Amino acid sequence: MKNEIVAIDGPAGSGKSSVARAVAERLGWAFLDTGAMYRALTSEALFRGIAIDDQDAIGELARSVELVTSPLVRVNGRDVEEEIRSEPINIAVSVVAANPQVREAMVERQREMARQQPKGTVVEGRDIATVVFPNATLKVYLTATLAERSRRRGEEGVESVVRRDEADSTREASPLRQADGAVVLDTTSRTIDEVVGEIIRCLKNNTSN
């Protein structure tokens, strides 16, 4: 099943990372957290003192930086696994992710990462089924209530989640939206195992038809 893709999109706190990682484990496929890539890039920009609104400088950084997302998130060999979940990154990453040059560079990286996998890849993000892998084997859109998503984000809080939702859905470059044909799953009152089971069932139905 080489180059098969399960594309999982959704807003902050919808459960994308946890669900995608679990689906990948169940299938024995690779897992790609694209959000971690944007956060790692943001971390490196702040580390170097590059203004996050300097589109050309951030774009060049996106094209040249070395990014690894598994088993730990590293940027140019620097472990940023914990740092990328900090409040400064939460605030700055929306600006970096909205940069058209950054998105173009990251899309190419994400496609190449998937091409290198011996089996399939489970990819999560905000433009995976609409831009990065529009022909994915299975497209999934996860959602949940704002209260539940804010609870999951812990210290980040409601205001931060609302701010990220607004930035992600209104940016000009690859905005967050539900892809045509996507399976929509509300994760508010469902366990990870329940959501994973539903995705696996949908995948089997897709590949058997």
For the record, the structure tokens of 70 come out as 């598994």
Nearest CA to 36 out of 160, 129, 125 is that of: 125
Domain CATH for 167: 3.40.50.300
Nearest CA to 5 out of 123, 180, 149, 150 is that of: 123
Nearest CA to 176 out of 76, 103, 92 is that of: 103
- How many structural domains are present in the chain? 1
Element (H, E) at 202: helix 192-208
Domain of 99 in residue numbering reads as: 5-208
pLDDT in tens, the chain (209 residues): 458 999 999 998 999 999 999 999 999 999 999 999 999 999 999 999 999 999 999 999 999 999 998 888 999 999 999 999 898 998 899 899 999 999 999 999 999 999 999 899 999 999 999 999 999 999 999 999 999 999 988 767 788 888 888 888 888 888 889 999 999 999 999 999 999 999 999 999 987 66
Amino acid in position 42: T
